[in-house]
Amino acid sequence: MNQALKNLEKMFKESRSMFENSTDALINNKEMEVDIYKTDKNLNNLEIETRRKILEHLSVNPQQDIIASFIFVDVVRDLERIGDVSKAIVKLNETYLEKFESDKYTDVLRGSKSKIDTMFDLTLKAFMEADEDSAAKVESMYEDEIRVTLDKTVREIMNDSEITVKKAIAYTLLTRYLRRISGHLTNIASTVASPFDRVRHDKTDID
């Protein structure tokens, strides 16, 4: 299980790198510092290896760390999906082929991106240190800030008669992607803040 935990920490770092690079490239017009597709492959390999380590552990010690094993499997799935969504952001950037100029929508998107950066820090701390306060902060940020703000932004975009269709689609897609990533982080935090039978339950609707 120690190796599985080390792999999870690596997956946190890889998924965060993918998130930061993909969003910075799209909404802050920065050059990507990593190969997103190579990093995604590394993330997928870590997921496979971690699942194998957990299976090996359970085959030798079937009565030991059962709940922790189930939680680890859930967490690696969420981290892998963060990588998938980050890759989708890169593809959006490759398709959109325009700079995101400053307006009220990009201000919201940049602000949400910054909050999700904070959620990554809190989620890693919560999981690695079993810190319930950090986990609760992640859940609160998602429920009270990220979800409310992004849902409101989508409604505003849909009712904006002055925005171009192309820009509306790009903004709406990125809004959905940010919501999904924050939702996956909240799922991970819920493994610390909630009893096992409540993990992932009634917290997010991301897929």
**Domain ranges (residues) in the chain:** 2-198
Q: What percent of the chain has pLDDT over 90?
A: 76
Which own/partner pairs from 143-146 qualify as long-range (CB within 8 Å, at least 24 positions apart)? 143/186, 143/203, 145/115, 146/112, 146/115, 146/116, 146/119, 146/178, 146/179, 146/182
CB burial of 29-49 (b: ≥16 within 10 Å; e: otherwise) equals eeebeeebeebbebbeebbeb
**Does position 204 have pLDDT exceeding 80, yes or no?**
no
Of the candidates 48, 94, 92, 54, which has an alpha carbon nearest to the alpha carbon of residue 71? 54
Q: Quick check: 157 and 103 in contact, CB under 8 A? A: no
Angle at which helices 2-27 and 165-193 cross, to 10°: 160
Per residue in 44-55, pLDDT (tens digit) is: 999 999 999 888
**pLDDT reported for residue 201:** 46
**pLDDT reported for residue 2:** 77
| Domain spanning 2-198, CATH class | mainly alpha
- Inter-CA distances, 78 with 5, 31, 33, Å: 15, 26, 23
According to DSSP, residue 116 is labeled: H
CA atoms of 11 and 13, how far apart (whole Å) = 5
Mean pLDDT within 128-145: 95
**Does position 194 have pLDDT exceeding 70, yes or no?**
no
Q: In the structure, what pLDDT confidence band is assigned to residue 202 with cuts at 50, 70 and 90?
A: very low
* Selected residue with higher pLDDT from 207 and 188: 188
CA atoms of 189 and 125, how far apart (whole Å) = 9
**pLDDT reported for residue 195:** 52
CA atoms of 185 and 165, how far apart (whole Å) = 30
- Quick one: how far is CA 107 from the chain centroid? 20
**pLDDT reported for residue 40:** 96
Mean pLDDT within 186-207: 66
Per residue in 21-31, pLDDT (tens digit) is: 999 999 999 99
**pLDDT reported for residue 12:** 96
Per residue in 34-87, pLDDT (tens digit) is: 999 999 999 999 999 999 988 888 888 767 778 888 899 999 999 999 999 999
